[in-house]
Amino acid sequence: MYRYVIPWFLLSAPQAWASGFCGEGVRVGIFDTGLVDTNLHKHFRAVTIKERTNWTYLSARTRKRERKQQQGAEEDVNPAAIDGHGHGTFVAGII
């Protein structure tokens, strides 16, 4: 019988941590469907979520706003960066 073994050793994470590499000061970007804004992880509470496009809510009004944003690269300050179906929140959880 075949037994699959997850090769975590390939990451060498324990050796990196022992050398002092812990990710402090690293900034990441998540390009996805947004984040569910309830019960955010502590690392996401102190940041500003900026959104350039929104794939979750696609009303005619939203599409018009998105085209304007893409042309002018304006920052969206409305709640459209909220994830309506969970994919962006899932991806953020991996990071």
Q: For residue range 17-47, what is the model confidence (pLDDT) as tens digits?
A: 889 888 888 877 777 777 776 777 777 666 6
Over residues 4-16, the pLDDT tens digits come to 777 777 788 788 8
Structural domain contains residue 58:
yes
Residues linked to residue 33 through DSSP beta bridges, in sequence order? none
53 contacts 70 by C-beta, under 8 angstroms = yes
pTM for this model (two decimals): 0.43
Residue 17, in any domain of the structure? no
Contact 12, 66 (CB under 8 A): no
Is 52 domain-assigned? yes
Query: For residue 4, which amino acid is it?
Result: Y
Query: Domain tally for the chain?
Result: 1
Q: Is residue 50 part of a domain?
A: yes
Domain that holds residue 87: 27-94
- Specify if 1 maps to a domain: no
Residue 2 lies in a domain: no
Compute how many other C-beta atoms are within 10 angstroms of the C-beta atom of residue 83: 20
> Looking at the domain assignment, is residue 10 inside a domain?
no
Q: For residue 81, is it within any domain? A: yes
